[in-house]
Structure 1
Amino acid sequence: MSGRTRRKVEVRREEILLTAIAQVEEVGLAAVRVSDVASALGISTGLVFYHFGTKDELVAEAFTYAVERDLAAMERAAARRGPVLDRIRAVLRSYGPTGSAAGWRLWVDGWALAQHEPVIAERYRVLDDRSRRILRDLVDEGVADSSLTCVDPGASVSRLLALLDGLSVAAEVHRSVSRAQLRRWVNGAIATELGAS
C-alpha cells in the first residue's frame, strides 16, 4: 500500500469514528447502528465493516477515540506548570462534567455497556486505569515534595474519583446536585483526602 493510499484509509477511518461518536452522543453506545453511521457519510455499511470488522469493534473504537480526547485533556492539565494542588484540581475539573459534558456522558454510557460487552469492558479498564494513573502521579508528586499529606495515596485517589463519579451522576443525570455544589464538595474532599487547604 502506498503512503498516499494509507493516508486515505486513515482519513476514512477517522471520518467513520467521528461520525460514530456523533451518533453515539445522540442515541448512546448500545443503540448506535452501523447503517446510520454509513448513511451519514454516504458510504456502504460494507466499507464500515471493512475498517472495523464488527459493530462491537466500531463501538469500542469510537468509545476509545472519544475517551482518549478526555484523557489528553487530563494529561495537559497534569503537565501544566504550577503547584501540584492546582494541577490536581484542574485534572479533576477535566475529568468531571464540564460544558456540554458529552465526553463524560460517554464514560457513563461505557460503564453501563461494559457490564455486558467484553470488548467495551476491556477498553474501559485500560482507559480507567490511565485516568487513575494521571491523578495518582500528581498525588505522589505532592506527597514527595511535602505539599500534600496523604497516608494512602491509592485509597485517596479511589475515594476522590468515586465521589466525583457519584456527584457527576447526581448533577448530570438526576439533576439533584448543582455544579457549584459538585465543585465545592470535591474541593472539600481534596482538602480532607490530601491534607491540602
Structure 2
Amino acid sequence: MTTSVPDRPDRPGRRPKAPRRAVAASERTRQPTEVRRRLIVEAAVPLIVERGSAAVGVRDVAAAAGVSVGTVTYHFDSVQEVLSEAMVLHIERYYAALSEAADRATSGAEGLRLLIDALFTDDTDRHWRMWFDYWHAGDRDQAFARGQAERYASWHGEIRSLVERGVAEGDFRTVDPADFAVRFAALADGLALQRLRQAPPLTTEAARAHLYRLVEVELAAAAG
C-alpha cells in the first residue's frame, strides 16, 4: 500500500503560497472622482504652506495624498491645477473663519478689532506665505486672476460693512467706508510682506499696532 506524502513548502518544484494581504476598505471601494480630487487638493495645502507652491511637485502631492503619481495626473491636467485649487481652498477657509468671527462681534468696532487680531498671530505667517503665492498664481492664469478679484472684493466688503456698522452704532465717525477699506487692506498686505521678509524686522504685535493706529486715527468718534 502506498502512503501519500503531503506536499511541503520546501519540496522541489513547488512554491509556497504567498499569504493573502489584507485590503483596506478604501482600496476595495473605489472613491468617486470628486472625493479623490478633494483628498488630493487637501493634501497639497500644507505642502504649499510649508514650502511655497514653486517647491511642490506632482510626486510630493502624490506622496502626501497617499496615492500614485498616475492617480494625480488622471484627476488633474497638471500639478499647477492641484496647487491652484489648494490655494483657493485655503484662502476661502481662512477668510470664511474671519467673516464668521466678525459676524459674531457685538459691534462693528469689536469686529474690526477681531479682524486685526486674527490677521497677525504667531501662526499667520503660514497664511501670508500662501496669500502671496495665491496672488502670484494670478499672473499665469486669467481665470484664476478673476477669482482673486472676487475674493478681494469680498474682503473689502467685509471691512466696509464693519465700518458702516460702527458708524451706525456711534463708535466711528462718519467716513467713506470704501476708501477706508482700500487703505486698511493695503496696509495689512504691506505689513504682511514686511513681516515675512523681516526687512526691517516686524513683530506680530507691532503689525497689529499699526492697524489699530489706522483705525484710531481715521475712525475714532470724537469724545463728548
* TM-score of the two chains, using structure 2 as the length reference: 0.75
Question: For the residues of structure 2 that align with 1:35 and 1:7, how far apart are their CA atoms?
Answer: 21
- In structure 2, the gaps of 5 or more residues are 1-28
Question: For the residues of structure 2 that align with 1:6 and 1:122, how far apart are their CA atoms?
Answer: 34
In the alignment, is residue 184 of structure 1 matched against residue 184 of structure 2?
no
In the alignment, is residue 32 of structure 1 matched against residue 74 of structure 2?
no
* Distance apart, 1:88 and its partner CA: 0.9
Match of 2:111 among 59, 67, 87: 87
Question: For the residues of structure 1 that align with 2:221 and 2:97, how far apart are their CA atoms?
Answer: 23
Q: Secondary structure at the match of 2:70?
A: helix
In the alignment, residue 143 of structure 1 is paired with which amino acid?
A: V
Question: For the residues of structure 2 that align with 1:17 and 1:144, how far apart are their CA atoms?
Answer: 42
Q: 1:81 to 1:166 in 2, by over 3 A?
A: closer
- C-alpha contact (below 8 Å) 2:44/2:86 kept by paired residues: yes
* Distance apart, 1:70 and its partner CA: 0.8
* Distance apart, 1:107 and its partner CA: 0.4
* TM-score of the two chains, using structure 1 as the length reference: 0.85
In the alignment, residue 122 of structure 2 is paired with which amino acid?
A: G
User: Counterpart in 1 of 2:7?
Assistant: none
- C-alpha contact (below 8 Å) 2:42/2:86 kept by paired residues: yes
Aligned-residue identity in percent: 32
* Distance apart, 1:83 and its partner CA: 2.0
Q: Secondary structure at the match of 2:173?
A: coil
1:106-145 correspondence runs (5 A) = 106-145=130-169
* Distance apart, 1:15 and its partner CA: 1.9
Question: For the residues of structure 2 that align with 1:116 and 1:31, how far apart are their CA atoms?
Answer: 17
How many residues in Structure 1 have an aligned counterpart in Structure 2? 192
Question: For the residues of structure 2 that align with 1:49 and 1:129, how far apart are their CA atoms?
Answer: 33
User: Counterpart in 1 of 2:19?
Assistant: none
Question: For the residues of structure 2 that align with 1:196 and 1:93, how far apart are their CA atoms?
Answer: 21
* Distance apart, 1:187 and its partner CA: 0.5
- C-alpha contact (below 8 Å) 2:194/2:202 kept by paired residues: yes
Q: 1:150 to 1:45 in 2, by over 3 A?
A: farther
Point out the structure with max Rg over C-alpha.
2
* Distance apart, 1:43 and its partner CA: 1.8
Higher helix share: 1
Per-residue CA distance 1:20-74 (angstroms, 9 max, x = gap): 1122123212332122211333322332233333333212110110111111111
* Two-structure CA RMSD over aligned residues (Å): 2.3
In the alignment, residue 116 of structure 1 is paired with which amino acid?
A: R
Question: For the residues of structure 2 that align with 1:73 and 1:146, how far apart are their CA atoms?
Answer: 26
* Distance apart, 1:104 and its partner CA: 2.1
